[in-house]
Every structure is written in C-alpha cells, then in structure tokens.
Structure 1
Amino acid sequence: MRERDLSECGYTEGIPYWDWTHDADSVSAFKRAKIFDPKTGFGRTGFPEGDNSTASCVENGPYAGMQMNIPEPHCLRRSFNLTSEMPGNWTSAVVKRIMDYPDYINFWNNTERMHTLVIEDGLCSLSLSHSGIPMITYIVLLEFFVHHSQVDRLWTLWQGRNETRIWDYGGNTVQNVTTNTATLGDPMRFLGLAEDRPVESLMDTLSNGLCYRYDDEDTN
C-alpha cells in the first residue's frame, strides 16, 4: 500500500530495506548508521540529544523542522534508547541463527523479538501531548517502513531456502495469547485502505499482484 501511495506522488522505485546488522557493532556504530546521515539518510536526533521525555526536535537532514499531526501537532523528535548490550541482539550472527530455524513458529518468535528491540526499544519518536504527557508513536517513524522491509526480506529469504516453507505459517491471533490458532485463511483487514485479503494470497512475493525479490547478502 505504501509503495502504491508513493507511486501516486511520482516515486517509481521499490521500498528500500535497512539491514541493521551492519550497524550492530556498538551503540555508537548504530548512531552513526548511514540511515541517520543528515545528507544521505533521515537525519540524526535533535540537539541536545535526550531520552524519551526530553528529546529535542530533529534539526538536520531532509525532515528537519518537520511537523507531525498524530496524536497532536508537534515537531518530529527522535531519540535512541540503547543500552550497550542491545545492538548484540541484531548482529549478523543472530540473524544467521534465526535463519537456520526449520519451522515458521520459531523463526517468527525470534524475529519478532529482534524487531521489537530494534524499532521499539532502540529507537523512538516522541510526541508530547498538550498535557505534557509523553506519548511514543512508532507509526510516524520514517525508519519504520525500511525497518519492516528488512523484516519482510528476512522472511522472504527464509521461505526461499526450502520450497515447503512458502505455506508454513502459524501463531496467535490474539495479542498476549500463546495458543497457535492462526491459519492461511485468516483475513487481513486494511480498514478501507485496500481490499481485505486472506493471508494465503500474500505468502508469495511473486504472485497475486506481488512481484519483487530481495538480495541474499550476508544472511547465510
């Protein structure tokens, strides 16, 4: 849907992915990642750099001074919530271990944990309500989309390593419930943004209206 919407604005390329394994050596390496470069990326944090309660407005890069409207009008803020141990959770070695799982449930559970550490725990966009209560709003993160392209990339590459995996799917359908009740026939509801579709229609990136591949660099 995002690629479709971008095409309506004249963007004709695909959605890039952010391979954060290249930025996992340390906290400082993560902060120096090319994706945050002011000239070639999304820009860095605000100055002075603060935590979730004191982060300043982003002042450099293409989105410097950008105003957001959810949940209330505010400037775009970015903060890093990294501890020294956290980057070790998304190294190429960790990704390799996850890619070696033979079944979807284990692949999914471990990928989900890594995803949460990168985008929710490691990187936040701060919204401040009129009451002064900080509200973390991940959906407005510009990095959100290229990060999720990386997650999609890993899943697609994992599928491609065994032809039986294209239909390997499962998990819970209710948050915080561990019963694996998900099926390929479950509907994906897009709330009017696109036509609702069953999961099985989107399992293959080369069919049912999808047509894309990812490179397999550094995931072996």
Structure 2
Amino acid sequence: CANPVTRREIRQLSQGERTAFFNAFKELRRRGTFDFYPNVHLDNSPVIHGNSVFLPWHRRFVRDLEVALQSIDPSVTVPYWDWTIDSQNPAASPVFTAGYAGGNGSGEDNCVQSGPFANYEVSVPEPHCLTRDFNQGNGISTWWPAESLRLMVSDADTYTELREGLEFGQHGNVHLGIRGDMSTMYAPNDPIFFLHHAMCDKVWSVWQ
C-alpha cells in the first residue's frame, strides 16, 4: 500500500479535525450522494450480517465512505471510537456531546437536538430526522471493558470465532444501546455508525 491511511481514535482529533470530518459528512449529503450508503446497507442487509462477509464487507464500506469524504476534504479520515474506554457509562462518552456527534434524541420522534447533527434530516428509508433512543432512557447499558475485548480477541483461534464474538457481542451491543437509526439496517444514516465500524475493523486488524 503506497499511501496507507492512519486512523485515530476520535478523542485524538482536534476540534477542528472533528469539525472537518462532520462537515464533509454533511456536505456529502448536501450533494445528494450520501444516501447511497444507508441504501446499500439496507438492501444488502440479509447477506452482509451473520456470516463470513460481515467484517470484510464493512471494512470496504467504511473505506468507500472515507474516499468519498476525502473527495470533499483530503485531510479527512474516518476516526474510530474505542467504546471500551466508555464501557461502564457509555452515555457519558464525549462522543455524545455537542463538540462531537451530539447526544441522545428527544421529543416524540427522538430527534437528535444537539451538536453538528441537531435536527439533521435523512432520507432513508423515507425522510425523517436523525434519531437516537438510548436503551436506558438517558443512559445506555454497560458494554465490554477493554479486558473482555482483549480476551475475546486472544481466545479466537479462527476468523469465524472472532467474527461471531465481535458481531454478536460488542458490535450488537453498541447498535442496540444507542438505538434510533442505529438499531436499524439504515444505521449508516448516523455518523456514529462509521466510528463504530472503524473500531470493529481495528479489532479485526489487531487479530490479523
């Protein structure tokens, strides 16, 4: 690989770098090309989950989004979100603050009301606001701490063991903890989807 991409944990980005990432994300939608991502994930959902293609398909998916963002701002890469850091109180993660991706949804429709995606309109599967609906009201159930993730990775002797442990473990926990758009097959509406899957890809890369 002549020009490898270096991804960083989202907390390692400056405020300016985070803003550039989110602005490129929103600009992709403004240009009318973003809907490809939730649509293709939704349309292919039966064949990209629960089997061996889960990790490689999502690796390519995140990279394709990254290339599209770089066509808008070449400085942008997709950061990963190390959710083990926030495992014991996920809702208190800085990821859910206004300086990052905004917080939980509120109101009758659970629309995100803070941060760069406040009142953000998405189109898939039909027009609606970006939604989040934490599974414990204003909180989220605890997730795997770093040691649990490390043990899962070290105990996985085969790709299948790793993929199943990750997909049906922490990967699913994050989607079902945040809920809203994130708990659907059009989850790529939420930029957190890409932070989450960049982390899943990092876990696979470490195992490899």
1:37 aligns with 2:97: yes
Higher strand proportion (structure 1 or 2): 1
- The question of whether the paired residues in 2 share the 8 Å contact of 1:124 and 1:138 is answered with no
Any unmatched runs of 5+ in structure 1?
49-53, 128-134, 160-220
Deviation at 1:55, TM superposition (A): 4.3
Q: Which amino acid aligns with 2:203?
A: L
What root-mean-square deviation, in Å, do the aligned CA atoms of Structure 1 and Structure 2 show? 2.4
In 1: Cα distance, 2:114 partner to 2:160 partner: 41
Select the structure that is richer in helix. 2
Match of 1:21 in 2: 84
2:148 matches 1:94: yes
Structure 2: distance between partners of 1:62 and 1:126: 16
Question: What stretches of structure 1 move > 6 A for 4+ residues in a row?
Answer: none
Q: Which secondary structure does the structure 1 equivalent of 2:161 belong to?
A: helix
Q: Is the 8 A contact 1:124 1:141 kept in 2?
A: no
Shift of 1:13: 2.9
Question: Is the contact made by 1:55 and 1:79 (CA closer than 8 Å) also made in structure 2?
Answer: no
Tell me which structure has the larger Cα radius of gyration.
1
Q: Secondary structure, in 3 states, of the residue corresponding to 2:117? A: coil
Q: How does 1:94-133 map to 2 (within 5 A)?
A: 94-101=148-155, 102-113=157-168, 114-119=170-175, 121-126=176-181
**Greater relative contact order, per chain length (Cα 8 Å cut-off, separation 6+):** 2
| Unpaired segments ≥5 residues, structure 2 | 1-63
Give the Cα separation in 1 of the matches to 2:115 and 2:125: 23
Relative to the length of structure 2, the TM-score reads 0.61
Displacement after TM superposition at 1:139 (Å) = 2.5
Which residue of 2 is the match for residue 77 of structure 1? 131
Question: TM-score, normalized by length of structure 1?
Answer: 0.58
Q: How many residues align?
A: 141
| Aligned-residue identity in percent | 28
Aligned counterpart for 2:206 among listed residues 157, 161, 181: 157
Contact 2:95 2:102 in 1 (8 A): yes
- Distance apart, 1:82 and its partner CA: 4.4
Supply the distance in 2 between the matched residues of 1:126 and 1:144 (Cα, whole angstroms). 9
Residue of structure 2 aligned with 1:58, choices 96, 112, 116: 112
